[in-house]
Amino acid sequence: MFDDNGSFLLATLEFFIFLAWFMCLFWIFGDLFRSKDLGGWGKTLWTLFLIFLPVIAMLVYLIARGNGMTERAMAHQVELQQRQEAYIRQVSTATPARDSGAAGEIAAAKELLDAGTISAAEFEQLKSSALRKTPATA
């Protein structure tokens, strides 16, 4: 297959150039479909151009839209980080007192009393039943 070391090195170089081209193609497609300033027809035309004339289209895309690739990628990362932080805040503050036994039940009953859902007698009944459930600690 390889008759000397030069052909092996050339094949290795060609392989890495192919991988670099393939990676660049994926980055361009990712940027193309993430872009909000292009409409559907623009994305379709760029996709067809990249499929039928890949090397030329890749160079034209990098020249024409290369400056905005970094800004679009950074904006996407900022949006993902904001979504993650919002999710973490939502999960971490979701009713922490509910799982604390009698105190959680009493707090829930107090919220119902404050909202006017239950009467004071019902609140006292819920409070006493919650206190009865807790084991006595000595």
Asked whether residue 65 carries a pLDDT value surpassing 80, the answer given is yes
Would you state the structure tokens that stand for residue 93, as one six-digit string? 């503050």
Block residue for tokens 């459930």: 133
Confidence class of residue 25 from pLDDT cuts 50, 70 and 90? very high
Return d(Cα 34, Cα 70) in angstroms, integer. 12
Q: What is the pLDDT of residues 70-96, one digit of tens each?
A: 888 899 899 999 999 999 888 887 655
Mean per-residue pLDDT, 15-28: 93
| Residue 46 CB-density burial (10 A; 0-12 exposed, 13-18 middle, 19+ buried) | buried
